[in-house]
Amino acid sequence: MNKDEVKGTFTEVAGRAKEAVGDAIGNRRVQTEGMVDQVAGATQHAYGVAKERVADVADAGRAYYDEGVHAIGRRVEEQPVGSLLFAGVIGFAVGWLCRGRQQ
């Protein structure tokens, strides 16, 4: 849980209390302010949840990238000639495709 989730939940709960007080004393302005605080709190909480999920996805992406880099490095160490040949073929194909588009 991050600070946006906590603050959002607190604001939402405070908004519910404010709405109840406004309803109890018959003050529409206080009641409406409570409703607004509830929406603001729920929004901030949702933002905090989304921010947390984005951070999790970024961490997973970094892990996959690192794993891929290590796998390629191991492959090059195990088969250096084959890797060089493969890189040459890819380079030739990219060059051929780029040359074909320029004409």
pLDDT tens profile 69-80: 999 999 999 999
Q: Which amino acid belongs to residue 47?
A: Y
49 vs 102, which has greater pLDDT?
A: 49
- Mean pLDDT, the chain, as a whole number? 94
Other C-beta atoms closer than 10 Å to the C-beta of 93 total 10
pLDDT at 102 over 60: no
Mean pLDDT across 56-79? 95
Question: How big is the chain by its Cα radius of gyration, in Å?
Answer: 28
- What share of the chain has pLDDT > 70, as a percent? 96
Boundaries of domain holding 73: 3-102
Mean pLDDT across 89-102? 85
pLDDT at 20 over 80: yes
Name all contacts of 31-37 with Cβ < 8 Å and 24+ positions apart.
Answer: 37/11, 37/12
Q: Which residues contact 75 (CB under 8 A, 6 or more apart)?
A: 83
Number of domains in the chain: 1
Mean pLDDT across 95-99? 89
pLDDT at 32 over 90: yes
Contact 4, 48 (CB under 8 A): yes
pLDDT at 1: 87
